[in-house]
Structure 1
Amino acid sequence: MDWFPLYNSLRIAGISTVITFFTGIFAAYYISKLPKFTKGVLDCVLTLPMVLPPTVVGFFLLMTIGPLGPVGAPVLEIFGVRLTMTWYSAIFATAIVSFPLMYRTVRGAFDGFDHNLIYSAQTLGLSNTYIFWRVMVPNCKDGILAATVLAFARALGEYGATTMVTGYIPRRTATISTTVYQLWREGNEVLAYKWVFVNLAISFVVLVAVNMLENSYRQPKGKAANHTIGEEFEKGGER
């Protein structure tokens, strides 16, 4: 059994999850502060890949980063790098498809956050960067963690957009999803079932690990932020 599809799927899902983690969090943070109309428009634009068929997303991506596309053509001409039919082509596809899950879930966590904690921190003279990383993110960690898991799982199981830009090349672009389809086409259902169970096992382990982490570090809402703000207040008093 060739394990390359597993390795390739994990590295693609891992890299795309890192990308969507930071882009999703910052997009959710800044968009949550915009006016209602602007927020609604941006929500529609950023979550569009979630409702579009993955093959349609893959088509638009192929037209963009393909050898004749507005992005793929200059990159190929200047740097000699082809952005399609390579293993890293799938990173573009999985990041775009999984981004809406990360963004919407984190946005929901930020919208439900008690903003009185932010106002309290601002009265102590704390910077917005400090408030974001030490007050807001710790209090919304459950939502962020859930969003990260969803994004990783979505990237790991992505097929439609991925196959449009990477195809299926054994030991080069093959992922678990494309391998299952290829094995089914060849009539090798036994091996296809093995890969299906591998994917199920990975998803199960990830979800169990997240639940264990949440149970280990769970604390009452606002406790971490109040503790942090209280420490800063005491430091301010000492000064």
Structure 2
Amino acid sequence: MSGWLGAAEWAAVFLSLKVAVWATLGALIPGVFVAYALARWQFFGKSLLNVLVHMPLVLPPVATGYLLLLSFGTQAPLGAALKELGIVFAFRWTGAALAAAVMAFPLLVRAIRLSIEAVDPALEQAAATLGANRIWVFATVTLPLILPGILAGMVLAFAKAMGEFGATITFVSNIPGQTRTVPSAIYAFLQVPGGEAAAIRLLILSVGVAMGALILSEIFARKIARRVGQG
């Protein structure tokens, strides 16, 4: 297997895995919170929050990357303040993870929100009448029931993070060994003579990851549907 991909290709694969894992984990807790808020709460600005969450799906990825650069670049006020704390995103792998997390966030939230909306609120209300606070109700009643939705969202977010290109290359560029993920590597290989073979190998890998993610997501979605049907 090690002979199938070259050193540069493996470096891109390992970096993509690193970026995707951190992007998924970084988006998980905010994603659960936002999904729960959109599914269960009524508050001023809910529609605006819903629009902002889904904005990366319709905004050109390059525009999203440029907005991240304007916000977290070392010359931006926020980026400069973070730099003083030793946190740098622009042109670093951490920036690639941030860009991937932003682009994957809507998929994560949507999967979890649908799962929460499938849970009968009466179950949560019953636990609350027994004296449990909201956090305990969520941890003991809601969370176990929405776990398939969380897993489905994480799988989709991971796959999206693995395949993110536009926002990533705009925000962190395409630096070999530092920010060159699999999509960036495919683009780079296509720009040089004789690079088509390496690009095709990485393309096959990308297709495999995407198909596997969709299959797993469908499995989790069917589990949610069965629970709703039994409810």
* TM-score exceeds 0.5: yes
CA–CA distance in structure 2, aligned partners of residues 133 and 221 of structure 1: 18
Matched, 1:167 2:170: no
Matched, 1:154 2:154: no
Matched, 1:129 2:96: no
Give the TM-score of the pair, scaled to structure 1: 0.83
Q: Using the TM superposition, give the Cα deviation of residue 123 of structure 1 relative to its aligned residue in structure 2, in angstroms.
A: 2.1
- Most deviating of 100-109 and 148-157: 100-109
CA–CA distance in structure 1, aligned partners of residues 163 and 58 of structure 2: 16
What is the 5 A alignment of 1:22-171?
A: 22-35=29-42, 38-76=45-83, 78-79=84-85, 81-171=87-177
What amino acid sits opposite 2:94 in the alignment?
A: Y
Q: Using the TM superposition, give the Cα deviation of residue 218 of structure 1 relative to its aligned residue in structure 2, in angstroms.
A: 7.9
Give the TM-score of the pair, scaled to structure 2: 0.86
Deviations 1:119-151 (A, max 9, x none): 111222223222212211222222222211111
CA–CA distance in structure 1, aligned partners of residues 41 and 149 of structure 2: 21
Q: State the structure with more CA Rg.
A: 1
Deviations 1:52-85 (A, max 9, x none): 0100000110111112112112333x24554211
Q: Using the TM superposition, give the Cα deviation of residue 27 of structure 1 relative to its aligned residue in structure 2, in angstroms.
A: 1.1
Counterparts in 2 of 1:80 and 1:4: CA distance versus 1, 3 Å:
same
RMSD between superposed Cα atoms in Å: 2.5
- Most deviating of 195-204 and 143-152: 195-204
Query: Gaps spanning 5+ residues in structure 2: where?
Result: 1-5
- Contact map agreement 1:32 1:39 (CA 8 A) in 2: no
SS at match of 2:103: helix
Deviations 1:193-236 (A, max 9, x none): 00111122233444555667788x88962799x9xxxxxxxxxx
Matched, 1:180 2:218: no
SS at match of 2:191: helix
Deviations 1:157-204 (A, max 9, x none): 000000011111111211000000000011311110001111222334
Query: Gaps spanning 5+ residues in structure 1: where?
Result: 227-239
- Contact map agreement 2:156 2:214 (CA 8 A) in 1: no
- Most deviating of 94-103 and 124-133: 124-133
What amino acid sits opposite 1:157 in the alignment?
A: G
What amino acid sits opposite 2:154 in the alignment?
A: T
What amino acid sits opposite 2:140 in the alignment?
A: R
